Amino acid sequence: MTQTFDDIITDFDVLDDWEDRYRYVIDLGRDLKPYPEDARDAAHKVQGCVSQVWLKTEIGEGEDPEMIFLGDSDAHIVRGLVAIVLTLYSGRRASEILAIDPDNILKTLGLDEHLTPQRSNGLRAMIRRIRSEAQAVLIADSAIARH
């Protein structure tokens, strides 16, 4: 994906009604990088999503590594939400991921008011998973550094 999160915010502002925004979210999902078939398993499945959602994490080197996320879903709108989440978090350092206020971001896009409770819960589950993985990387690296 070549879009930044700021691009998505700008595009949301330009689109007046939610039907257009939903179509835009679905289009974002179509632009996701292909997800590896061997990562469509229980270990990569996001718990708490009604639809099938998978997230794969690639962790870079160093004390505060860059984290790359790949994701996919079997539902079009959810696949678009995966694309939004990946645009926000993928390619950032673990500490940057933890510094992002997800509630503020969701309010910026107005997603909370316009998604079903199930989709909102699934979106939050994706974000929790990403943040948890970033936290685990920093804790593990901190523990290694102490020894």
Catalytic residues: 49
Instruction: Give the number of other Cβ atoms within 10 Å of residue 25's Cβ.
Output: 25
Q: Which two tokens stand for residue 82?
A: 């995966």
Q: Which residues contact 34 (CB under 8 A, 6 or more apart)?
A: none
Rounded Cα–Cα distance for residues 128 and 117 (Å): 16
SS3 45: strand
